[in-house]
Amino acid sequence: MKLNYTIKIGYRMALFLSILLTYNTHAVNFDANLTDFDQNKKNKVTGLVKDNYGALPGVHVIVKQTNVATSTDLDGKFTIEVAKGQTLVFSMIGFEDKTITYQSGNNFNIVLNQKTSTLDEIVVNAGYYSVKDRERTGSIARVTAKDIELQPINNPLQALQGRTPGVSITEHSGVPGGGIDIEIRGQNFMGLQNSGRNNPFYIIDGVPFLSDALGTNNGNLSYEILQAKISPLNAINPSDIESIEILKDADATAIYGSRGANGVVLITTKKGTQSKTSFTISSTTSFSKVPKFLDMMNTQQYIKMREEAYLNANASFPANAYDINGVWDKNRYTNWQKELIGDTATAQETSLGIRGGNEFSNFNINYSHSESTTVFPTDKGYKRNSALMSYNYMSKNRKLSVNSSTLYSNQSNNLPTADLTKQSLTLAPNAPSLYDKNGEINWQDGTFRNPMANLKSSYENKTSTIILNSSISYTLIKNLNAKINIGYTNNHLEERVLIPHTIFNPAANLTSERSESNLSNQKSQSFIIEPQLAYNLSFKKHSLNTLIGFSYQQNDNESDQIRAKNFSSNAFIKNIGAAKEQLIVSTGKNQYKYASVFARINYMYAQKYIVNLTARRDGSSRFGDDYKFGNFGAIGAAWIFSKENFAKNISWLSFGKLRTSYGITGSDNIGDYAYLDTYTINRYQYNDQVTLSPTALYNPKFKWENTTKFEIATELSFFNDRLSSSIAYYNNRSSDQLIGTTLPSTTGFNSISGNSPAVVENKGWEFSIFSQNIKTKNFSWTTDFNLSFPKNELVSYPGLEQGTESSKYVIGKPIQIIKMYKYQGLDPKTGEFTFYDYNGDGKITSLDKEHTVSLAPKFHGGLHNTISYKNLSLDFLFYFVKKDNYNINKYYNSPGAAMLNLPSAMNDYHSSSNPNATYMPAIYNNPKNSLQINYTESDATISDASYIRLKNVALSYVMKIPKIKVESLRLSLQGQNLWTITSYKGMDPEFVSFGYLPPLRTISFSAQLTF
């Protein structure tokens, strides 16, 4: 059955391809005939094409009647054969076309004029089609190479922070090769914030790429260092990117149907250009440090607190209280943050590129290598090699075009198994020195769990990624274009955790028998084929663009995890086969298929009124038989009112557009095979026999999640496009949420999959302003500003009160709320925390967790300025966000209770001499421990984590040295996270989980030479 079906698909593909190919040969004949017809009357003419500044290479020259074409060489010269009465057309992107009718002569000087307003000409990628920015009906934000290149970043998503309205980016960690959270217009879907349910859909050069974090759910080997969340986009070198487009509203995303709900991120890599072949060599060196340490207690404060804790408990110092019972020096002090996370991380990136070609055939190849170390006391770190190769071809008659790109990268990361930040924030300040007199790891007679010992173990990963894309398009007849897009991606992540016996105290006399090696592999492959047909028609004032296409995608994922112990020598620790004990923890394979038909009809009248209809029917293997298919679609409309007569007289208004859209997108983010009633093979055995456990509660009747999106926006430009702005309001509602409904464990599981009746609304305003403040011959200053006010609300949830989710959600509040105790201060008499007794029963129980706090951002935005004077330019970006987050109170225990250091703010603990304190008294074996636990679940652990951050500064200088054929030499100095204004008391307000390295402050120098 299965085989049969594969053959069928293969046959259809072959059929389609053969149609294209056979047609092609005939088409060429057709041209040849025409050319023959006119041959005898031809004159050979030469000429030079220039603009105001000089010769123009790569200008397309065509004889209109014959399709004979050429392009100008490096010196702007061309030679072409033309007959009398025929028309010569000169064209080049960014310039106005020039047409002359040939009469006589054989030498021409042509001057092309630069197009006056480039804003009119900006074309944005909308995925299956492109659209002029000014004529688009959808909401598409865009970041281009010129902004991306200015930042010393590892992951392309970092470039979006503060530059795109409606897009919120949070870095998980300052460790290179880590994870990044992206949220486009808020969280549509309920479920754990880290579940990936709100991830957008990534498309790289037309090929869907992995959306979910890597390294999750397969042993989570990187949990303690990268939080088991590795961004798949680390594979892409940011400097290979030409543009990133973010599709937000229904009009832009509905053509992606069930993948469009969380927005779509389109990444386009750099292509070849119409120019002489040029080589680019660039090199960047960066230095990064932790921007701010948390202010911790010093030894004196710490010892006082610890001793008081035992005094208050009427207890003598026990044998394991080494910090105060005399085993450790009570006067010693170490700033553990400086020791453990205080190094400077260095990074070095070099790249070599070559690009060139003409309008018909061009290429771009770029190879780059980067290496970076960490702030931990180890010289290991992250490496990436990446190669981008793209080739474009267009036949001379411009009917056939072939585009292909290959992106390959391999990354390796070699890190400590655990982020040392947590230890640096808890280690007792009088803990012994890391190394003894002989330079060996100091165990202090077995009393010190030395963090350096853990550095003998390591977490290593290797990722290799291939993204292949080719698209062939052919103009069948005038205005009718057929295209087939084929893509393949392959991603392989190999992770290892190596734990040699040397991490233990040598006094224990352990041997490599205790050494352990863990290996986990995650492979995913995806194949996509998308034949499409586009038909464009314009007559008089009408213009029609249509598109119909089919998409078929197959994903195969494979994962396995092996644990090995007991090696004859640590030299073999990476060789699982050499271990005496090998355990296959898990192996798994799953498949996902997806098939769709999509269509678009775009109608424009008089370049003023535009209607855009998109539709998609999707089938997904993730649903039961009756629910496999879903229909999605949108309507968008725009009115360019500045072209109306009444507006033409308003001299200061150069452009005005009103646009709106409404539609439905969806999501099938529920995991493969979830609709089946199955048993799962466990990783562990009993009596050496396989064990099978029930997988989940059975519910085959779930269907697509839906997000209905509405947007209305206006785009205005003033004073000859010197000032432009856009204001957008959106309202998205997500329903039929595919979420496990929480169930009490008496049902056997924690939840059941299904469509929840809850409706979540994300609405908000997005503002952006671009201003060309000053523009003179030598000096220019531009300002970009954007601001987003997202608002999330649980609109309705029938059955919430009676149901199981009432402890998590409240109707009318965001889905990111947390229900907490309401903290009411410390009772100065008793030194006890007090909480508000919501149900008035005289005691504080979990029923009093009725205070709600939201961690959703209230607003965020960016302010970006570019100032340039002659060849010097300065670019800087401020990013700001207003939100609440957890503070130190969430993560630290009662003062003195354990051998752990605390932030110096916690010095303010209650005692007879300090009755008006913030924290409970220092006490060992705290009998009021339950109050401390309530405290960590109260609103005292939440505080304002808003910040304004100078995210990026770049100062660059460009030189042209024609004498030695240097096209350009750019020197730049860049900085990242240079300065932060915040009232947040923790280490850094930008974090997802406590105890991980915050985003680093980076300074880098780079030089780029093009010749």
Is residue 143 within 8 A of residue 151, CB to CB? The reply is no
C-beta closer to other proteins: residue 530 or 766: 530
Residue 826's Cα: distance from chain center in Å?
43
For the window 918-937, what string marks contact with other proteins as x by the rule CB under 8 A? -------xxxxxx--xx---
Is residue 507 within 8 A of residue 453, CB to CB? The reply is no
Helix, strand or coil, per DSSP, at residue 705: strand
Cβ neighbours of 19 (radius 10 Å): 14
Query: Would you count residue 525 as binding other proteins (CB under 8 A)?
Result: no
Please report how close the Cβ of residue 48 comes to other proteins at its closest, in angstroms.
37
For the window 695-734, what string marks contact with other proteins as x by the rule CB under 8 A? x-xx------------------------------------
Handedness of CA 63, 64, 68, 70 (dihedral sign): positive
Please report how close the Cβ of residue 546 comes to other proteins at its closest, in angstroms.
13
Which residues ranging from 552 to 611 are in contact with other proteins (CB under 8 A)? Answer: 552, 565, 581, 583, 586-595, 597
C-beta closer to other proteins: residue 751 or 771: 751
**Which DSSP string do the residues of 519-569 spell out, in sequence order?**
EEEEEEEEEEEEEEEEEEEEETTEEEEEEEEEEEEEEEEEEEEEEEEEES-
Query: Would you count residue 317 as binding other proteins (CB under 8 A)?
Result: no
Whole-angstrom distance, CA of residue 904 vs CA of residue 896: 12
Whole-angstrom distance, CA of residue 74 vs CA of residue 579: 64
Q: What angle do CA 522, 525, 531 make, to 5 degrees?
A: 160
Is residue 894 within 8 A of residue 929, CB to CB? The reply is yes
Beta-bridge mates of residue 653: 718
Phi, psi of 613 (to 5 degrees): -115, 130
C-beta closer to other proteins: residue 71 or 505: 505
Q: Which of 275, 270, 354, 272 is nearest to 71 (CA)?
A: 275
Whole-angstrom distance, CA of residue 807 vs CA of residue 800: 9
C-beta closer to other proteins: residue 7 or 650: 7
Helix (H) or strand (E) holding 617: strand 609-620
Whole-angstrom distance, CA of residue 553 vs CA of residue 527: 6
Please report how close the Cβ of residue 556 comes to other proteins at its closest, in angstroms.
9
Binding-residue total with other proteins (CB under 8 A): 110
Query: Would you count residue 846 as binding other proteins (CB under 8 A)?
Result: yes
Query: Would you count residue 684 as binding other proteins (CB under 8 A)?
Result: yes
Beta-bridge mates of residue 1010: 280, 968
Query: Would you count residue 546 as binding other proteins (CB under 8 A)?
Result: no
Query: Would you count residue 377 as binding other proteins (CB under 8 A)?
Result: no
List 387, 402, 548, 973, residue binding other proteins (CB under 8 A): 548
C-beta closer to other proteins: residue 422 or 949: 422
Whole-angstrom distance, CA of residue 401 vs CA of residue 674: 42
Whole-angstrom distance, CA of residue 851 vs CA of residue 425: 29
Which residues ranging from 442 to 501 are in contact with other proteins (CB under 8 A)? Answer: 446-447, 476-477, 480, 482
Please report how close the Cβ of residue 674 comes to other proteins at its closest, in angstroms.
10
**Which DSSP string do the residues of 410-443 spell out, in sequence order?**
EEEEEE-SS-THHHHTTS-TTPPPSB-TTSSBP-
C-beta closer to other proteins: residue 476 or 727: 476
Beta-bridge mates of residue 983: none
Is residue 241 within 8 A of residue 156, CB to CB? The reply is yes
Query: Would you count residue 1005 as binding other proteins (CB under 8 A)?
Result: no
Please report how close the Cβ of residue 984 comes to other proteins at its closest, in angstroms.
26
Is residue 807 within 8 A of residue 743, CB to CB? The reply is no
Please report how close the Cβ of residue 581 comes to other proteins at its closest, in angstroms.
5
Which residues ranging from 490 to 519 are in contact with other proteins (CB under 8 A)? Answer: 505, 507-508, 513-514
Which residues ranging from 737 to 776 are in contact with other proteins (CB under 8 A)? Answer: 742-750, 752
Query: Would you count residue 12 as binding other proteins (CB under 8 A)?
Result: yes
| 1006 token code pair | 């780079």
Which stretch in 363-371, 392-400, 799-807, 939-947 sits in contact with other proteins by CB under 8 A? 799-807
Sheet with 241-247: strands ordered across: 140-144, 241-247, 264-269, 201-204, 207-209
List 621, 796, 865, 871, residue binding other proteins (CB under 8 A): 621
Please report how close the Cβ of residue 623 comes to other proteins at its closest, in angstroms.
9
**Which DSSP string do the residues of 946-985 spell out, in sequence order?**
-EEEEEEEEEEEEEEEGGGTEEEEEEEEEEEEEEEEE---
Which residues ranging from 926 to 985 are in contact with other proteins (CB under 8 A)? Answer: 926-930, 933-934
List 104, 688, 840, 965, residue binding other proteins (CB under 8 A): 688
Please report how close the Cβ of residue 862 comes to other proteins at its closest, in angstroms.
40
Please report how close the Cβ of residue 1 comes to other proteins at its closest, in angstroms.
8
Give me the residue label for tokens 């663009």. Answer: 545
Query: Would you count residue 15 as binding other proteins (CB under 8 A)?
Result: yes
Beta-bridge mates of residue 63: 68, 88
List 95, 408, 629, 785, residue binding other proteins (CB under 8 A): 629
At 777, which amino acid appears? K
At 78, which amino acid appears? F
Query: Would you count residue 192 as binding other proteins (CB under 8 A)?
Result: no
| 40 token code pair | 């005898």
Which residues ranging from 886 to 915 are in contact with other proteins (CB under 8 A)? Answer: 893, 898-899
Whole-angstrom distance, CA of residue 917 vs CA of residue 931: 15
Query: Would you count residue 678 as binding other proteins (CB under 8 A)?
Result: yes
Which stretch in 230-238, 487-495, 614-622, 708-716 sits in contact with other proteins by CB under 8 A? 614-622
For the window 319-358, what string marks contact with other proteins as x by the rule CB under 8 A? xx-x--x-x-------------------------------
C-beta closer to other proteins: residue 578 or 583: 583
Which stretch in 431-439, 648-656, 673-681, 909-917 sits in contact with other proteins by CB under 8 A? 673-681
Which stretch in 63-71, 142-150, 215-223, 625-633 sits in contact with other proteins by CB under 8 A? 625-633
Query: Would you count residue 315 as binding other proteins (CB under 8 A)?
Result: no
C-beta closer to other proteins: residue 644 or 677: 677
Please report how close the Cβ of residue 454 comes to other proteins at its closest, in angstroms.
14
Please report how close the Cβ of residue 735 comes to other proteins at its closest, in angstroms.
22
Please report how close the Cβ of residue 714 comes to other proteins at its closest, in angstroms.
37
C-beta closer to other proteins: residue 36 or 688: 688
